[in-house]
Amino acid sequence: MKNSTSLSIFLIFCVFILSFGCNDATKLVDKTAIQTTALPSDVMPFFNHFKLILGDGSNVGFPINFENKDFFYTKNDGKQNWIVYKTPNGGNTHGTSSNTRTELAQSKKWSAMSEAKLNATCKVMNVSPTGDARVAASYSMVIGQIHSADGHENEPFKLFYKKFPGHKKGSVFWNYEINTAGDDNSGRWDYSYPVWGYDFSVIGKTPTDFPAEPADGIELGEELSYEVHVKDGIMYLKFMSEGHETKTFTKNLIKSEYTTKADMPEQVKKLFVPIGQDGVERANAYAEEGLFFKLGSYNQTNGKDPIVNKVWCAGAETHDGDLQKQYADGNYAEVWFKESTVTIPDDAISNEGYFTANDGLSKKVVYPNEVIPFMDKFKMLMGDGTSVDDLTEFENKDFFYTVIDGTMRWVVYKTPNSGVTSKNSSNTRTELHEKREWTPEQGGKLTGSCKVMHVSTSGDGRVAASYSTVIGQIHSGEGHENEPCKIFYKKFPGHTKGSVFWNYEINTAGDDNSGRWDYSYPVWGYDMSVIGTSPTDFPEEPADGIELGEEFSYEINVHEGIMYLTFTSQGHETKTFTKNLIQSEYTTKADIPEQTKNLFVPIGQDGVERKNAYAGELNYFKQGAYNQTNGKAPEKNIVWCAGAETHGGDIAKQYATGNYTEVWFKEATVGMSSAPKK
């Protein structure tokens, strides 16, 4: 009887637990499951050699007894446990990179003259299905590398996997990045070696055009192994996969084969030289730098516009950095590792300096004056009418800030079609204004290396100012306050190439300045007077024009009253001009050029210039983005009133719809003039 009673009580207790305590019981089971699930450090016990960078940009340190279900965890494929490295197309990154990563970075660095070895077996499970086929980095990830901890922090070894959308098989290749000679690393480039399938340089002709599927490629989920062995300055590579030919390579890391321009391989000339990456390597390559291994998922498919960099900026879907949305539709990179070992020399030293320099760097504000240090010599007016006198440690994310394009940092000048501008202008600007003033006789010099990233997509084809921006000028601070030099970039809608030209504005004789006009000189492409015959009619695309995102440089040198202009751009003829600023060539109506008679005279701008032009007048330089495309009706002035979309002055809407101008500068100088070279 006692036993029966005890059993009844036990059963009732169980029913009570099942009926009312199920949630707590489930939690208990879940906790038990978590405790018994393998952690990455259980699968691969070498994490005391590496720190882990996650796809959100954070450094979690040594990942022993650590997992993160978004980026770094274990998965069982039915046979064994694997370590998963996963990272989205868009998110926070590490250091100066444009790409997210969930990647191990070795905690010690070693010399190429010592002996170090990395072995790994892995399988790539996913690469981004979005991107631009013309961009070499699209649809790819790096699954292992050697990284320099010093100098330019370049990479003598990067192992890629890349698979084009719709293909079953992808390519495995490795890249050697030169250790660029000199202090400027913007000219660095990669040479790519195919392992199975294609090398890095095989790309599509259009954003959605793909080459044929590689016959000897590697499928998603197919295992491959690699061995990286560095000894006495030589790197030995070995790649293995069942059913595929084993491949081996040897590369000298302490003696360069790329010390002159003549040494540059054809592959590099076709892929990197067109975007200005045409450097040479120091003679001893990586001999003087500490090196370290990296391993994991370094996603090369980012969301940056290909205009920024046609090799590294993939234009892929990022859902504005929303992690779960990217994971839901495949916009991420994922690789699984089941085995890996590392051997490093006894004389390896701490790599902490690398982490100190790069941890949190992507979130750090880098001010424009840190990129171009002459900002203390300028004040600025921004696109909302705000004037800033002190530009040291100043930025504004709507108008004036810095970005990285994949190779280097730039200063961005951005301004809408309509906002608030200066008292005598119809056009908005985010533009520097030199504090020093000088006469043409005293002289001065301004240089700039830039690329125009965007001009307004709306306007009127008949209006000369439509679709254009001024990126550098000389402005008079006295008299009529006219402009003896304005450098323009203009691109018609639908065209790939735009025009660079410069205008000279006469310093009108007399007190009435309403008759002033510009004479326009073409540099590459057309001059200002080439316009359409209707609001939506455009001339033919200029054959020798400059594309958006294509770099070019200018120098304005005013010496002893004469202005000397020089324009350079890789792949284009260098152009030079000379203009006297203290003696006019337009002092009578008969001197008015035909271009002016066709463009300005019909709107009543038919003045003549004072004989001594700008002599004795104080001038100053300006540089940035001075948007010439405004929203004023063309009926008011068919030369300068562009009739563009302005959304009632709403800046955010203008930016969203492409009704703005944006110019990036990487270098610029200002100072005294110099005698021209003879």
Same domain? 166 vs 51: yes
Match 């068919």 to its residue by tokens.
Answer: 638
Helix axes of 2-20 and 22-36: crossing angle, nearest 10 degrees: 80
Q: Are residues 343 and 409 in the same domain?
A: no
Please determine, for residue 371, whether its predicted confidence score (pLDDT) is greater than 70: yes
pLDDT tens per residue across span 522-551: 999 999 999 999 999 999 999 999 999 999
Position 98 scores a pLDDT of 81
Q: Which residues neighbour 343 within 8 Å (Cβ) at sequence distance 6 or greater?
A: 115, 116, 117, 118
- Whether residue 73 lies inside any domain: the answer is yes
Out of 348, 363, 378, a domain closes at 363
pLDDT tier at 361, thresholds 50, 70, 90: low
**Integer Cα distance of 116 and 111 in angstroms:** 9
pLDDT at position 616 over 50? yes
- The pLDDT, as a whole number, for residue 677 is 85
- 354 and 391, same domain (yes or no): no
Percent of the chain having pLDDT more than 90? 88
Say how many C-beta atoms besides its own lie within 10 A of residue 22's C-beta.
Answer: 10
Alpha-carbon distance of 144 to 623, in angstroms, equals 43
Is pTM, for the whole model, over 0.75? yes
- Domain contains 676: no
Residue 15 lies in a domain: no
Q: Do the Cβ atoms of 246 and 239 come closer than 8 Å?
A: yes
Which amino acid is it at 247?
K
Question: Cα dihedral angle (470, 475, 481, 484), rounded to 10 degrees?
Answer: -80
d(CA 166, CA 70) in angstroms, rounded, equals 26
Q: Same domain, yes or no, for 330 and 399?
A: no
Structure tokens at 116: 């170090």
- The residue segments making up the domain with residue 460 are 368-671
Mean pLDDT, range 230-251, rounded to an integer = 98
Is residue 18 scored above 80 in pLDDT? no
Q: Are residues 421 and 311 in the same domain?
A: no
What are the residues whose beta carbons fall under 8 Å from the beta carbon of 5, sequence distance 6 or more? Answer: none
**Which of 363, 395, 426 corresponds to the end of one domain?**
363
Closest CA relative to residue 37, chosen from 69, 61, 1, 71: 69
Q: Give the number of domains in the chain.
A: 2
Cα separation of 51 and 191, whole Å?
28
Give yes or no for a contact between 523 and 580, defined as CB atoms under 8 angstroms apart.
Answer: no
Q: Tell me: do 508 and 529 sit in the same domain.
A: yes
The answer on pLDDT for 65 being more than 50 is: yes
CA dist 553 → 550, 574, 632, 668 (Å): 10, 10, 31, 9
How many CB atoms are located within 10 Å of the residue 49 CB? 18
Maximum pairwise Cα distance, the chain: 129
Instruction: Provide the pLDDT for residue 408.
Output: 84
126 shares a domain with 32: yes
**Chain centre to alpha carbon of residue 395:** 18
Q: What mean pLDDT comes out for the span 81-87?
A: 98
Predicted confidence at residue 6, as pLDDT, reads 43
Give yes or no: residues 354 and 451 share one domain. no
* Same domain flag for 315 and 396: no
Q: State which of 363, 384, 410 marks the end of a domain.
A: 363
Asked, for residue 1, whether it belongs to a domain, the answer is: no
pLDDT (tens digit per residue) in 252-305: 999 999 999 999 999 999 999 998 899 999 999 999 999 999 999 999 999 999
In sequence order, what are the residues at sequence separation of 6 or more whose Cβ sits closer than 8 angstroms to the Cβ of residue 461? Answer: 492, 531, 532, 533, 534, 535, 536, 537, 538
Number of alpha carbons in the 13 Å side-chain half-sphere of residue 89? 33
638: in domain? yes
The answer to whether residue 18 is domain-embedded is no
* Residue 465 near residue 480 (C-beta atoms within 8 A): no
Q: Cβ neighbours of residue 35 under 8 Å, at least 6 residues apart?
A: none
- Does residue 377 share a domain with residue 338? no
- Rounded Cα–Cα distance for residues 381 and 624 (Å): 10
pLDDT at site 360:
76
Residue that is written with structure tokens 């690469």 in the block: 127
Shared-domain flag, residues 326 and 399: no
What digits encode the pLDDT tens for the residues 454-478? Answer: 999 999 999 999 999 999 999 999 9
Q: Of 117-121, 359-363, 502-506, which gets the smallest average pLDDT?
A: 359-363
Query: The domain spanning residue 280 has which CATH number?
Result: 2.60.120.200
Q: How far apart are CA 29 and CA 42, in angstroms?
A: 21
Rounded to a whole number of angstroms, the distance between the first and last alpha carbons of the chain is: 120
What is the DSSP track for 422-440?
-TT-SS-EEEEEES--B-T
| In the predicted structure, residue 7 carries a pLDDT above the cut 80 | no
For the chain, the average pLDDT equals 93
pLDDT at position 473, please? 98
Same-domain check for residues 340 and 379 = no
Does some domain include residue 3?
no
Query: Would 375 be classed as within a structural domain?
Result: yes
513: which residues sit within 8 A by CB, 6+ positions away? 480, 482, 607
